[in-house]
Amino acid sequence: MRTNGLIGAEFYNILDLALGTLDDQPITTPSTRLCQGENVERITELNRRYGIPHQVSFSQEPNGFVFVDVTNPQATARIALQGAQIIHWSPKGEAPVIWLSEAASFLPGKSIRGGAPVCWPWFGPHETQRDFPAHGFARTTLWEISGVESRPDGTTKLVFHLPESATPKNQWPHASTLESHITIGAHLEVDLVTRNQGNHPLTLGQALHTYFQVGDIRTVRLHGLDGCSYLDKVDGGVCKVQQGAVNFTQETDRIYLGTTHNVVIEDPQMQRQIHIAKRGSASTVVWNPWIEKAAKMGDLGENGYLHMVCVENANAAEDVVMLAPETDHHLWVRYSTTALTST
Ligand code: BG6
């Protein structure tokens, strides 16, 4: 059986990994004991173990992709088990805050264009190995769910972890764990927790590469970076200093360095501000590919670049984290919105 290029046994193995029942096998290992009926049972099992009636449910697309849908009195959200990637979040009664490309493809092992990809354990190209995947392997790896909680304050908390068996040892020969604690409500919080379980310090690059939905990028202003130094990747990586708010008039790809400031996306078209708070992040990456690069990318959708901006809470370039043995690092973010009132 073949489903959108994915061999049947492979996609059943994906579900085994989601349930944590195939710890020692890579997802491409064929399994002979799986059949269609069992696959349905695995989604049933995810729902039985972690589902909450009318609040948290698991479903599967025909090509094997598994999603968690969350609905609570404050918000709706959708998370793909691949990459533990949030692909939708709308506070109740509001337009989506997280942007997902209309042309996004959902293929096992391929990055999803939009949402909030987890870049880990390096940001951008690997420092020395150009054949390693850009932004690390966490975003294209199947994560497992380890807990779901309906909280008294009306929010829903989900915890995901990257299984050790899914870590390519040739790319990351270190003893470490990665968890993502996601809280869905009127605010969206993500706490990305890395633990160094080895005997040596780790060098860690990372980002929550979130695509935010905007009305028209040409009218957006980004506040909170005035006076910060940044590496301008569209100008050969030259270091510059931000003057005032960030405006978007062309391809923009910048790593703002040494900044722990919160930032605000001001969106006059959608008449809202998106507030981005962070801790444990010393860099802020700002990216919009603009028209030509977007056309080459192929998965941004028609005019998609007009309706998105990536503001990524990161530890990148010279801001990588040195993580001592037996210690944790938390990259924490909180997104919220307010109506934009004219001044
Ligand atoms: C940004 C980088 O974080 O991600 C850009 O600064 C890059 O240089 C962009 O183009 C998208 O990366 P990818 O791998 O998802 O296409």
Q: Which one of the listed residues 209, 251, 266, 307 is annotated catalytic?
A: 209
Ligand 1 in reach of 205 Cβ (< 6 A): no
pTM for this entry: 0.90
Please list the rounded mean pLDDT of every run of 10 residues in the chain (343 residues).
Answer: 29 44 31 41 94 97 90 98 98 98 95 98 96 98 97 98 95 97 98 97 98 98 98 98 98 98 98 98 98 96 97 98 98 98 68
Give residue 45 CA to ligand 1 midpoint distance, Å: 36
| φ and ψ at residue 290, rounded to 5 degrees | 65, -175
> CA–CA separation, 341 vs 343, rounded Å?
6
Ligand 1: nearest atom to the Cα of 209? 3
Would you give the distance in Å from CA 72 to the centre of its chain? 21
The pair of three-digit structure tokens given for residue 80, joined into one six-digit string: 């793909």
Give residue 289 CA to ligand 1 midpoint distance, Å: 9
The answer to whether residue 312 is catalytic is: yes
The count of domains in the chain is 1
Ligand 1 in reach of 209 Cβ (< 6 A): yes
pLDDT one-digit tens code per residue, 273-287 = 999 999 999 999 999
The answer to whether residue 209 is catalytic is: yes
> CA–CA separation, 232 vs 105, rounded Å?
29
Ligand 1 in reach of 134 Cβ (< 6 A): yes
Q: CB of 153 within 8 A of CB of 189? A: no
CATH code for position 70: 2.70.98.10
Q: What is the pLDDT of residue 134?
A: 97
Q: What is the pLDDT of residue 42?
A: 85
Ligand 1 in reach of 10 Cβ (< 6 A): no
> CA–CA separation, 208 vs 316, rounded Å?
11
Q: Which one of the listed residues 135, 161, 312, 329 is annotated catalytic?
A: 312
Give residue 135 CA to ligand 1 midpoint distance, Å: 8
Closest CA to 111 of 90, 89, 83: 83
Give residue 124 CA to ligand 1 midpoint distance, Å: 7
Q: What is the pLDDT of residue 77?
A: 98
Average pLDDT, the chain: 90
Pairing of strands 206-208, 246-247: unpaired
Residue whose CB lies within 8 A of the most ligand 1 atoms, among 139, 212, 253, for a mutation test: 253
Q: Measured in Å, how far apart are the chain's first and last C-alpha atoms? A: 60
Q: What is the pLDDT of residue 161?
A: 98
Nearest-CA residue for ligand 1 atom 6 is 253
Residue whose CB lies within 8 A of the most ligand 1 atoms, among 130, 209, 283, for a mutation test: 209
Ligand 1 in reach of 111 Cβ (< 6 A): yes
Q: What is the pLDDT of residue 64?
A: 83
Ligand 1 in reach of 312 Cβ (< 6 A): yes
Determine the structural domain holding residue 70 and report its residue range. 2-339
Q: How many CA atoms lie within 13 A of 245 on its CB side?
A: 13
